[in-house]
Amino acid sequence: MTQHKFSFGLWTVGNVGRDPFGEPVRKTLSPVEIVHLLAEVGAWGVNFHDNDLVPIDASASQKAQIVTDFKQALKDTGLVVPMATTNLFGDPAFKDGAFTSNDPAVRAYALQKTMAAMDLGAEFGAKTYVFWGGREGSETDASKNLLEGLKWFREALNFLCEYSNAQGYGYRFALEAKPNEPRGDIFLPTTGAMLGFIQTLDQPEMVGVNPEVAHETMAGLNFTHAVAQAIDAGKLFHIDLNDQNSGRYDQDYRFGAQNYKQSFFLVKLLQDAGYDGPLHFDAHAYRSEDLEGVKDFARGCMRTYEILAEKVKRFNADAEIQALLAQINAPNAEVEPFRGAYTPERAAALKAYQFDRQALGARGLGYEKLDQLTFELLMGAR
């Protein structure tokens, strides 16, 4: 069994291959079948939206049977449920948003639905609760008062934090950003925007982020930088791994399928920072695949992470790479006295110091060599 906490959502390996231009190519798997599939490929955990597990129109008796069967599957396989979330984007009621809909009845229904979904997640032991506002946005800004929308979103999260505390669930909330799709524009489109918004909440300590590779990459941003900001803020509560080409629709490719070097630097950041939370693969197999191909996809996500984690160890132990990094980051005894917190004396000394600006600009930094050595290590040439 891997040391990493690899998890998949029911909607990932359960994806039937439908897209806007084509019908399903794979049969629908039940939640129980998906749990057993994930156990077969060696996963640690399984996550769900409320309606991935229990259909939105299920009766009380149907729900009870589904929950019983799912619990038995978890017991039989040893899989855990680390994260749960709510589908607030699929039903027509949410066509103009959930927490930020202009319709107060829709906003109230979204709260009701989320509380029920939190109850369901807690029943299976989930401790992270993700919020992806897929419909929280607009196609025309004539339709929305943007400040009111943000206020409504804030009020909803404050309410749900209090609900979690009142029930003793111990949830940590993780907000997931995306710039667009399915809406023309989605509110709070980046991880950085989410981090700023969190500080306006009543209980910001309960709320972090769930950044996703594809979502930042769609907008042409460097995902690893976004994750670093989340780690620096102490807010990386969960992470969604997949792959994506910049400037495209949300492709949700197998982790590492496109951007090998970027995936390496992401794994390096997570490993070096000591991140030990779930590694959730929010991706799906190519539409070309059958059930065996879905298993290949799931194994591939995990195997890619393990390979890159091993490459991180080699990078950190490579004598030439580490010598070059030591040279790049060499201390300078002359300016060492200027480091540290502000003091009047330090400020005065720094203002009086004469820097050789030409020498600073003339120094070669060795980044070309460092990048080539990294490439060679990733390609197995060193």
Residue with tokens 């994806």: 15
> Is 136 annotated as ligand-binding?
no
Q: 174, 196, 193, 197: which is closest to 185 by C-alpha?
A: 193
For 89-98, which contacts have Cβ atoms below 8 Å and span 24 or more sequence positions?
Answer: 89/132, 89/134, 89/135, 89/182, 90/51, 91/56, 94/135, 95/135, 96/135, 96/143, 97/133, 97/135, 97/136, 97/137, 97/149, 98/133, 98/135, 98/136
Instruction: Give yes or no for a contact between 81 and 121, defined as CB atoms under 8 angstroms apart.
Output: yes
Asked if 49 is an active-site residue, the reply is yes
Cα–Cα nearest to 280, from 225, 234, 231, 214 = 214
215 labeled part of a ligand binding site:
yes
282 annotated to bind ligand: yes
- Residue 141 known to bind ligand: no
Residue 310's Cβ-side half-sphere holds a number of Cα atoms within 13 Å equal to 9
Of 4, 19, 36, 49, catalytic:
49
Choosing from 4, 19, 52, 252, the catalytic residue is 52
| Nearest to 241, CA basis, from 257, 228, 225 | 257
296 carries an active-site annotation: no
Q: 176 labelled as ligand-binding?
A: yes
- The CA-atom distances, in angstroms, between 102 and each of 105, 107, 112, 117, 159 are 9, 8, 17, 23, 18
- Bind-site residues: 176, 212, 215, 240, 282
Catalytic residue annotation: 49, 52
Can you say which residues are annotated as belonging to the binding site for Mg(2+)? 176, 212, 215, 240, 282
